[in-house]
Structure 1
Amino acid sequence: MELWIPITVGAAFCQNLRTAMQKHLKGKLGTSGATFVRFGYGVPFAAVYVLVLNQVFGFPMPVPNATTLVAGALGGLAQILGTFLLIHLFSFRNFAVGTAYSKTEPIQAALFGFLVLGEHVSAVAAVCILVGIAGVIVISLARVPLTLAAIRTSLVGRPALIGLASAAFFGASAVAYRTASLSLEGTGVAMQAAFALVYATSFQTVVMGSWMAWREPEQLRASLKAWRAAVWVGASGVAGSIGWFTAMTLQNVAYVRALAQIELVFTFLVSWLIFKEVIVRSEILGCVLIVAAVVGIILLR
């Protein structure tokens, strides 16, 4: 099995954990605060990881170049905007629709990867990506009433547009991060990914911290007061980000983000096995489609 596959699955699991904690914090901190803790509390963990790679495992410390700095900054800004929009979706009563659209990220990542890096996706992989996205949409809309008003909202409503915008920013950030990491060639894949992560996360912390200090100081203070819970968001977020950065250094972004859809399967397994929640048939169908897409990407691409 290629190394990027288990790394991506592990990253998806960590992201699932981080998202659950972030949703909980949103009720206490609001959208900006819940977005900030992902980056601000993640920097120390990312920095320690780089030091361990350098001091314990002997990976050379990279020297960032212009491509690293520009691509990492653009990726950081795009991820902030994507995260902000995704968390903002939770404010809508019909947020499931927007969340479904936000999962079109693999398609948009494939487009950005082609435009920026000249990367191509095979026809078989493209079909698998579409099958996986169909599964995500089936799950996201499983409990939405199929009325004309609901369908109209699904197509052109504000949550749908926010979800699409969120996916676009996440797709762009993934390609930018891959660009930044690849620019550090010669220091080892693990260090390339880790160094790009530290730079991007530090940049995000400075940008968001400065903006919140200016516009929403009460949110910044609340984020600092909630450190006991926020530190776990940062730790799980960095664990997932290490996986994403490493996988995207090794493989085409579109494949990585498509495989990452397995995160939703983890979500439903936890809901079913641990919380004993009832799963409807359409949600099971969605999980089957996602698993089929994942298997196809691994075996047939």
Structure 2
Amino acid sequence: MFTALLWIPATIAAAAAQTLRNAMQRSLTDVLGTVGATQVRFLYGFPFALIFLALVTTVTGEAVPLPGGRFLAFVTGGAVAQIVATALMLAAMRREGFAVTIAYTKSEPVQVALFGLIVLGDRLTLLGAAAVIVATLGVILMSVKPGSRLTSLARGGPALAGIASGACFALAAIGFRGAILALPEGSFLVRATTTLAFGLGIQTLVLVLYLALFDKAALVGSFRAWRPSLFAGFMGALASQFWFIGFSLTSAANVRTLALVEVFFAQIAARRLFAQTASRREIAGMVLVCAGVAMLFVAQ
């Protein structure tokens, strides 16, 4: 019974750790640029993932599961989707408030439902359709600036970047859960940690090669800013460890729905770290997004 419910505290812990990591990455964006700050969570998180894997296998006495082609396909897809998602999120944060950008990405579960309808032909129930409408209205409400004739959605601004980030995070969640389930053996903890190590390894390789070829200044800068980057990497690896534990125990939809608590953690971080405050309109939009995703969860 305890194991069956372990995904709940794991998800809450992941949301809290991810909020701290996002805040640190947001601070590094001005120094390293969007791609440079994106690779920090992977480059500095990978060693911690290896440490986690060593600790888990030592404590449990289990061997690292042997990955197959299906596992590698899922984990690579999830890794690439998460890179794109993180870059889009940080790009949106440079032009929009920290907490509001996080709220944009929380449309992720709604987008999973839409992808299912378009790609797989999965029909939405009446409550599910209402959930999509409510959450979409919430995003639009956050996007409208009083006195402006065009919304940030219409301009293709930070709102679109945040929503696209949520879509990529949704694809990443599906990829990582698929990878965990594709491993042939091991406890939920070993399979989750193995997937984390492979995922961060792939992400580190991809981004280091990219920066070495196209943005050496950002790569060198990330090594120079090793102290704040090390903290961001640790918090990123810790958050992912908890996310993957959740994915190994229940559906990605359950985990990502409960992950909405991150919106409120982000509000606290925005106030304390960036002196940003959300307007009543933005708060109302966040509430609608949360209500829409919660309705979608009930519909499922």
TM-score if structure 2 supplies the norm length?
A: 0.83
Change (3 A) 1:176 1:89: same
Find the counterpart in structure 1 of residue 211 from structure 2.
Answer: 212
- Give the Å deviation of 1:109: 2.9
Q: Which amino acid counterpart does residue 183 of structure 1 have in structure 2?
A: A
Contact 1:110 / 1:253 at 8 angstroms: preserved in 2? Answer: no
- RMSD over aligned Cα atoms: 3.5
Find the counterpart in structure 1 of residue 222 from structure 2.
Answer: 223
Q: Does 87-96 or 114-123 show the bigger shift?
A: 114-123
**Distance in structure 2 (CA, Å) of the matches to 1:267 and 1:31:** 19
Please state whether the residue corresponding to 2:89 is helix, strand or coil: helix
Please state whether the residue corresponding to 1:267 is helix, strand or coil: helix
Find the counterpart in structure 2 of residue 9 from structure 1.
Answer: 12
Q: Does 111-120 or 36-45 show the bigger shift?
A: 111-120
- Give the Å deviation of 1:95: 9.0
2:44 pairs with 1:45: no
Superimposed CA distance per residue, residues 243-291 of structure 1 (whole angstroms, 9 cap, x where no aligned partner): 1112122222223222212111112245568988765433554555566
Q: Percent identity between the aligned chains?
A: 36
Find the counterpart in structure 1 of residue 78 from structure 2.
Answer: 75
Please state whether the residue corresponding to 1:108 is helix, strand or coil: helix
- Give the Å deviation of 1:166: 2.2
Find the counterpart in structure 1 of residue 178 from structure 2.
Answer: 179
Find the counterpart in structure 2 of residue 29 from structure 1.
Answer: 32
**Distance in structure 1 (CA, Å) of the matches to 2:261 and 2:297:** 12
Contact 2:99 / 2:266 at 8 angstroms: preserved in 1? Answer: no
**Distance in structure 1 (CA, Å) of the matches to 2:187 and 2:243:** 16
**Distance in structure 2 (CA, Å) of the matches to 1:20 and 1:208:** 20
Q: Structure 2: which 5+ runs fail to align?
A: none
Superposition map of 1:1-301 within 5 A: 2-92=5-95, 101-111=104-114, 138=141, 140-141=142-143, 144-149=145-150, 151=151, 153-271=152-270, 280-286=279-285, 288-289=287-288
Superimposed CA distance per residue, residues 199-246 of structure 1 (whole angstroms, 9 cap, x where no aligned partner): 010011011101111111111111011111100000100111111112
- Give the Å deviation of 1:128: 5.8
Contact 1:106 / 1:255 at 8 angstroms: preserved in 2? Answer: no
Contact 1:102 / 1:164 at 8 angstroms: preserved in 2? Answer: yes
- Give the Å deviation of 1:157: 2.1
Superimposed CA distance per residue, residues 87-110 of structure 1 (whole angstroms, 9 cap, x where no aligned partner): 122343689887654432112234
Change (3 A) 1:120 1:200: farther
Contact 2:99 / 2:263 at 8 angstroms: preserved in 1? Answer: no
**Distance in structure 1 (CA, Å) of the matches to 2:96 and 2:291:** 31
Q: Structure 1: which 5+ runs fail to align?
A: none
Contact 2:72 / 2:179 at 8 angstroms: preserved in 1? Answer: yes
Please state whether the residue corresponding to 2:65 is helix, strand or coil: coil
- Give the Å deviation of 1:127: 5.5
Contact 1:14 / 1:239 at 8 angstroms: preserved in 2? Answer: yes
Aligned length: 297
- Give the Å deviation of 1:34: 0.3
TM-score if structure 1 supplies the norm length?
A: 0.83
- Give the Å deviation of 1:30: 0.9
